Amino acid sequence: MELGLEVFIKNARKYRGQRIGLVCNQASVDRTLRHASELVLSNKNLEVTCFFGPQHGIRGEKQDNMVESDDFIEPASGLPVYSLYGTSREPTETSLAALDTFVVDMQDIGTRIYTFMYTMANCMRAAKRTGKKVVVLDRPNPIGGVQIEGNVLDPKYASFVGQFPICTRHGMTMGELALMFNDAFGIHCELSVVPMKKYSRKSYWQDLNRDWVVPSPNIPTPLSALAFPATVTFEGTNISEGRGTTHPFEWVGAPYVNPDALAAEMMRMKLPGVVFRPIFFQPTYQKGKDTVCGGVQIHVTDRKKFRPFVAGVRLLAKIAELYPKDFVWKKPPYEYEYEKMPIDLIAGTSKLREAVDARKGTKAFEEMAEEELLKFSKLRKRYLLYKV
């Protein structure tokens, strides 16, 4: 399997004469773990004039979420690095003047609630507005490109963690998403995608024989990426999603949770491909900092059978049901939104929050999500680049 980056470097002659702004971070590496910046700077056919970094910084050093990065000069090359998660989340006029073509090489994790795809979309809009080009170097979806799950975002709840009406677990690559954003969602910039070679969309990261480089600090392993669609919703609550621990998004809990009782309730549901193990943990920062929390660890026993969306919805509803006096929804602000509830922005709807608050189970919400998924799957098929 060849990454879009590797194919791009082999065909660098095609991009002669274009001033390139490279959008990347620490996970933008080739098979040998050489970074994209090294590869493009050392290629005589390519003229790189600047770099752009997404959330968590171009080097991935910003550990917590919603921590901004500054612009700076990259020491080795002397080129400017512009932050796309700082005072602005869009390319500035200064940065746009330095380039002809955005080259985007970022590792996504397969879930709508992840900002890298929206950083790409913001670059695409800027390119359309100013007559620039966008080239997307494609990378694998680490949680597979076959299974899709979850409700489709309601545009009323659009934010920087969800700009477009797509489902929670989208089963697409960054290149495929770019094609959809450009066509179906009306950006219409001058876009080209450099596809991977010999890539099967049924592959999970563990099937690829590639080293995992963390795309963001709280996705330390491919398993955390797979658990993310289940537990990212806990960011909108007072329950820890495991940030500040060694297993973010796999560990979920709070000081008021009895882990044995919660695990027993979850195991009674007999959800496929997953075991909920009772645990205690003590986060070093964020929710539950320096406090012992009780909760569960999500152990995926069968990647193909595991359905993180349903597992996460059920876990959220169960904790709210067991601990009604302690469970609380997080209040705004969240990701630069100051009025709407964070859970609604994360879920892309108010209906999940309303279902949990009603304490009548989540079956109706799950059925609604399935109906929305059927419609989205038809749209999605138009932009898929790879076979199973």
Report the C-alpha gap between 45 and 79 in whole angstroms: 18
Q: Per residue in 3-37, pLDDT tens?
A: 999 999 999 999 999 999 999 999 999 999 999 99
Global confidence as pTM: 0.97
CA dihedral 202, 204, 206, 210 (to 10 degrees): 90
Please check whether residue 171 is in contact with residue 381, taking contact to mean a CB–CB distance below 8 angstroms. Answer: no
pLDDT given for residue 48 in this prediction: 98
Domains defined along the chain, listed by start: 4-216 (3.40.50.12170), 222-371 (3.90.1150.140)
Confidence class for position 142, pLDDT limits 50, 70, 90: very high
pLDDT given for residue 181 in this prediction: 98
pLDDT given for residue 284 in this prediction: 96
Q: Per residue in 195-237, pLDDT tens?
A: 999 999 999 999 999 999 999 999 999 999 999 999 999 999 9
pLDDT given for residue 185 in this prediction: 98
When pLDDT is averaged across residues 99-105 and rounded to a whole number, the result is 98
- What is the residue whose two structure tokens read 């929206």? 118
pLDDT given for residue 62 in this prediction: 86
pLDDT given for residue 318 in this prediction: 98
What are the structure tokens assigned to 217, written together? 């600090």
When pLDDT is averaged across residues 144-169 and rounded to a whole number, the result is 98
Q: Per residue in 327-365, pLDDT tens?
A: 999 999 999 999 999 999 999 999 999 999 999 999 999
**pLDDT reading at 65 higher than 80:** no
When pLDDT is averaged across residues 137-143 and rounded to a whole number, the result is 98
Q: Per residue in 233-260, pLDDT tens?
A: 999 999 999 999 999 999 999 999 999 9
Q: Let me know if 324 is exposed, middle or buried by CB neighbors in 10 A (0-12, 13-18, 19+).
A: exposed
Please check whether residue 277 is in contact with residue 299, taking contact to mean a CB–CB distance below 8 angstroms. Answer: yes
Report the C-alpha gap between 64 and 283 in whole angstroms: 12
Please check whether residue 330 is in contact with residue 235, taking contact to mean a CB–CB distance below 8 angstroms. Answer: yes
Sequence-distant (6+) residues with CB within 8 A of 361 are 317, 355
**pLDDT reading at 123 higher than 80:** yes
pLDDT given for residue 63 in this prediction: 78
Confidence class for position 64, pLDDT limits 50, 70, 90: confident
Confidence class for position 272, pLDDT limits 50, 70, 90: very high
